[in-house]
Amino acid sequence: MSDKATLLRLIRTEGVGPRTFRRLRERFASPGEALDALPALARQVGRRGNLRIPPPAEIRRELDRHEALGARLIFLGDADYPPLLALLPDAPPVIAVKGDVALLHRPVVAVVGARNASANGRRIAADIAGELAAAGHPVASGLARGIDAAAHEAALREGTTIAAIPGGLDVVYPPEHRDLQAHIAEAGAVVAEAPPGTAPLARHFPKRNRIIAGLALGVVVIEAALRSGSLLTARYALDYGRELFAVPGSPLDPRARGGNDMIRQGAWLAESAADILANLPDRPGALFPDARIAAPPPGLGEPPDAAPETGDELDRARSEIPRLLSASPVSVDELARHCQFSTSALTAVLTELELAGRIETLPGNRVCLLSEC
């Protein structure tokens, strides 16, 4: 197999999420070596049954399907990989892009909000997205009903837009947005993390939301309930050091409570695109003050600050770390503070646990027991 095909085979292996992919690339000199080691790593922490590694023929079919769709696969570390997305600690190892890849390198602004948006909310979304696009900022959103659709349509009229979708590139959701998705693929860009044929299940939407936040310098929320996917996108944006904007609304409208609460907690109040453009940074801040805006090359070998683990330490870590985990997600940094193991030992055991299907790695560098979370 080619190097890219072998890399894709590693990415599509059961239990290999974005963080585990990074750990494997740091631990092994090549994707082929990582693939060879996976079954033994999974057995180390008690996996029952065989780890599913896709056969080469399955990977060739995926590559052929993307080619037939007119899409490009871009791997983390490639020159064309979106530079802001590459900064994420849980950046997708590979994305499929149909459309203009160059848009992913421009100063993107995300506009998200309620599916059951009001007429006024849709109008505000259209006004803001259109003005942002006219000012040279591609508008990213999630192709959902309501605010997302209004933002995409207005941005297409005045400039361009990017749609991040929760399923494969050949699966349109919602179905009535088939023409809109096709138009975006022609005049903008459609981005998918999942392989072709993947249906948009509930667990895929948070992954889609982190891509929207990761592509953008800032995220604008227009009409969002207190528990909504739009606020999840905003939370990711905050974690990733992006700027947050919210359009205020009536306290009598439940759809305004999320945005109003964001303003109360420090988000910029946005009544027009001018409010956003006046406060949009030229690079991510907060968590990335010294970050270089460029795709990092895949790591080879151990990180320089990681002490090499011993066999005894690994055995103790395999025994003790699972007992520190529960249904409640915990950050890896907090986990490291509660145990006395080296960084490399902790990383190795978390990789083994994910491959064994015992934990799930969540956005925000958190983990929880998969059987309970």
Task: Find all residues with CB under 8 Å of 230, minimum gap 6, and list them.
Answer: 112, 113, 114, 147, 221, 223, 224, 258
Phi, psi of 330 (to 5 degrees): -130, 145
Q: Where are the alpha helices (DSSP H) in the chain?
A: 3-11, 18-27, 31-44, 56-69, 83-86, 119-134, 147-158, 178-187, 204-215, 229-239, 257-264, 273-277, 311-320, 332-338, 343-355
Kindly give the confidence (pLDDT) of every residue in the chain, 373 residues in length, as a single tens digit, with 9 standing for 90 and above.
Answer: 689 999 999 999 988 989 889 888 888 899 999 999 988 887 876 666 678 899 999 999 999 999 999 999 999 999 999 999 999 989 999 999 999 999 999 999 999 999 999 999 999 999 999 999 999 999 999 999 999 999 999 999 999 999 999 999 999 999 999 999 999 999 999 999 999 999 999 989 999 999 999 999 999 999 999 888 899 999 999 999 999 999 999 999 999 999 999 999 999 999 999 999 999 998 887 444 333 333 333 432 333 333 444 568 888 888 888 888 888 888 888 888 888 788 888 888 888 888 877 888 776 678 888 765 5
**Rounded Cα distance, 142 and 147, in Å:** 9
CA angle 339, 356, 210 (to 5 degrees): 80
pTM here is: 0.83
**Rounded Cα distance, 258 and 239, in Å:** 17
Q: Within its chain, how far is the Cα of 363 from the centroid? A: 8
The residue whose two tokens read 């080691």 is: 37
CB contact at 8 A, 129 and 150? yes
CB atoms near residue 24 (< 10 Å): 26
**Rounded Cα distance, 292 and 87, in Å:** 8
- Cα within 13 Å of Cα(206), Cβ side: 10
